[in-house]
Structures are given as structure tokens and as C-alpha cells.
Amino acid sequence: MKTTQSPDWARIQHLYPVNREMIWLNNCGTTPANTDTLHAVNEYLQGYAAHGGQTDVRRYPSVKKAIRSILAELLGVDTEELSLIHHTNEGIGFISLGLRLKAGDRILLLENEYPSNIYPWEHWKEKGVSISFVPMAETPEAFLENLKSTITPDVRVVSLSAVHWCTGMPFPLEEIGSLLSEKGIEFVLDGAQGVGLLPVRPREMGISYMAFPAWKWLLGPLGLGVLYVAKEKLEGLSFPFKGTGSVVNDEVYLPYREELKGTDRYEISTVNFIDWVYFQSTLEMLHTIGFHNSMERIYELADYLSDKLRDAGWKLASDHFPDFKTGIVVAEKDGLSMENTVSSLKKNGVMCALRLGRVRFSPHIYLAKEQLDRVVELLSR
């Protein structure tokens, strides 16, 4: 049930033990666990210790149903279009290996993209498919123009991110999806930096395939991810990955089966069930808070930090796209070494990241403005 009241951010802050140790501002990298999730995982482990696979605590079907139902509502897709995998790289790899391209086709990727959306495509070069890159830009509008000018008649696939991982700039997904749809080009999305931060709606945005991890804006565990395949696209994908969990009635091992499941055919074999329990816990928390409330809180904290940094003389990447919301604050200051700045912050308990020569901060809902004040105070030294 979604809350109809303003969330109790102080209570959520108290749920995160990391707040008593450091200021974690790398949430578009990885996210820490909260005590409610620790309780859920411990409860399951105690049940498993006592009854093994027969435990009634957090049964497989109900956990899977809960995760897919919440994600389907968030993304505006059917539950059957979602599969729980390991990470973005795996999901993009499934799609890349499944697409039926031919020599002479071209794939467009993003300049300075994260490797998870680069390496899975490189095998196509051996098959005569070329790979080109869309030049980066400082604004979403300029990037769209770059994309338009890079598309040639031989382009069959465009695979981009929802948000640039080094600048925090969101890409104009609806406009991109409309453009690619008109040209009959497949749109693949790396949703790692976007899902849970932005309203990513694949069907409304013309996205046929998407992969993203659990451990960023959705506060889930490391080593768990999600794959989306539009149901009308599924049977057109080659599937060279058939495993025990890929077939209908997979709990019956003999006789061998030919009929594949829906998108969850990509849950090839035994799953990371403890991670599923963890993820169910964080998704249910975010669902109760309301994903819109969560997003708005992240924007509020990011805007607060941005204002403080501007006042202190820092230059922000987001100033190039002021009309677009982002929860990722990327900053630099003349006369300072950003590498030394990140190192110094970490020594003082502030976790952030160095990206393309700038400092990247990414707050989440469990942080307080007083912690951001502390960061700016440290930077002023």
C-alpha cells in the first residue's frame, strides 16, 4: 500500500546504520542496506536453517510475484515481460546475442558509455556488423541532434543509457524512442542510472529491451538485476542459453521440455534467492513511501547540495540542463585537484566518486540536509 502522507524521512534515515559511520553519496554506484532488510534476510535464513528448502518463510513464488508486481507498476509493463537476472551487463549481453543482425548492419552506442553497455556488443564486429558512437553533449537537446546526425540507413540498433553516468544528464528518452520507432531501429536501454530516479516507462518511450541493476536507486543487493523484453519482441530473439529454469514446468526434470517460459526464461537455473528476499524488502519500502515521493526527495537533496556548492564557487554539470531533473550532482572547482578532493572526502567519511575529472555526488532518501552541509563544510577547507 502506498502512503498518502508525507514520508517520515527521519525514520528512514535512522534505518540506515551507514549514517552513523559515514556520509554515503555514491548511491548511483552502490547502496547500503537498512535494518528492515537485514531483519527480512535474517528471518529467511533462520527459516532456511531450521527447515531447508521446505521453509515457509519467504517462499519462492510469492517473493518473485511481489518483486515483479512492484517493478511492473513502476515501469508500466506486464509482469511477464520482466526477468530477474544478475546485472546490467548480463542483460545487455542476452539482448545483444539474441538480436538477428547481419553483416553490413550498424549499432550505435554512446560516447564515454559505461562498459556494461559497450563490451556486450563488441562480438558483432567479428560478424561484419559495425559499431559507431553518438558524440556526447552538454544538454539533452544537443544530444538528440547529435543522435539524429549520426543515424545512417544501415543503423539497426541504438543502445543508450537513461542517464549519463559521468554527468548526471538525463537523455530525452521519449523523443529518442519516437525517432527510432519512425526509422524501424531497435531501442535498447541501460537503465542502471535511471530506474528509480526517473520515470522510465519503456512502452511509452518506445524501448524494446532494457536491463538495470537492483543496487542503485532501488536500494537492492549487489549481484541482482532485471531484464525487460517487450512481449511482442521475445520470440524474435535467438535464445542460446536454455537451462533448467528456462522451460515451462521446470520443476519436473523428465522428460526434457521444449516449451520456453516468457521473459523469465532468462532465469536460467537456480537463482540468488537471498538477494530476492533483500530486493523484495527494499522495493516494498519504496513502494510504501511511493516512488514519486522517493524521486522528489532525491531531487530535493540534489538541488540543496547543488545550491550550496554554487554558493561556494563550484561549477555544476547540471547548470547546462537546468530544465531537466537529476539526482546526480557533478561538480568541479578551478584551482583544485578533483582527484585529491575525492581522496580527502573519503578520508573524512564522505563516499563519492571521480568521473571524467569531476566529483560525482548522488544522495538518496535516507540522507539528511545536515549531512550535505557537512560535505560542503569539508570542501571549504
Amino acid at site 117: N
Domain of 340, CATH number, reads: 3.90.1150.10
Verify that 166 and 271 share a domain, yes or no. yes
- Tell me, what's the pLDDT at 46? 97
Handedness of CA 177, 179, 182, 188 (dihedral sign): negative
Residue in 170, 166, 165 with CA at minimum distance from that of residue 143: 170
Verify that 30 and 91 share a domain, yes or no. no
Mean pLDDT by 10 residues, the chain (381 residues): 73 98 97 98 97 92 97 98 97 98 98 96 98 96 97 98 95 98 98 97 98 98 98 96 95 94 95 96 98 98 98 96 96 96 97 97 98 96 83
Grid cell, residue 373, equals 552541509
Verify that 313 and 269 share a domain, yes or no. no
Residues in the chain: 381
Instruction: From 257, 287, 317, give the residue that closes a domain.
Output: 287
Verify that 240 and 281 share a domain, yes or no. yes
Radius of gyration from C-alpha coordinates of the chain: 21
Verify that 63 and 166 share a domain, yes or no. yes
Which residue's C-alpha cell is 559511520? 21
Instruction: From 261, 287, 313, give the residue that closes a domain.
Output: 287
Which residue's C-alpha cell is 522495493? 283
The reply to whether 265 falls in a domain is yes
The reply to whether 2 falls in a domain is no
Verify that 65 and 18 share a domain, yes or no. no
Verify that 279 and 297 share a domain, yes or no. no
* Concatenated DSSP letters of 56-116: -SS-HHHHHHHHHHHHHHHHTS-GGGEEEES-HHHHHHHHHHHS---TT-EEEEETT--GG
Alpha helices in the chain (DSSP H): 9-14, 35-51, 60-75, 88-98, 140-150, 173-183, 202-205, 273-289, 291-311, 338-347, 369-380
Instruction: From 287, 316, 335, give the residue that closes a domain.
Output: 287
Verify that 267 and 308 share a domain, yes or no. no
What predicted TM-score, i.e. pTM, was given to this entire model? 0.95
The reply to whether 29 falls in a domain is yes
Report how many domains make up the chain: 2
Domain of 247, CATH number, reads: 3.40.640.10
Domain region containing 72: 58-287
CB 247 within 8 A of CB 257: yes
CB 347 within 8 A of CB 339: no
* Concatenated DSSP letters of 118-135: TGGGGGGGGGT-EEEEEP
Q: Which long-range contacts (CB under 8 A, 24 or more apart) does 114-117 make?
A: 114/161, 114/165, 114/190, 114/192, 115/89, 116/87, 116/88, 116/89, 116/92, 116/190, 116/192, 117/88, 117/92, 117/159, 117/160, 117/161, 117/190
- Tell me, what's the pLDDT at 1? 40
Verify that 281 and 327 share a domain, yes or no. no
The reply to whether 321 falls in a domain is yes
CA torsion angle for 285, 79, 241, 113 (degrees, to 10)? -60
CB 305 within 8 A of CB 372: yes
CB 276 within 8 A of CB 67: yes
Ramachandran category for residue 205: left, alpha or beta (phi over 0 → left; psi -120 to 50 → alpha): alpha
Verify that 241 and 126 share a domain, yes or no. yes
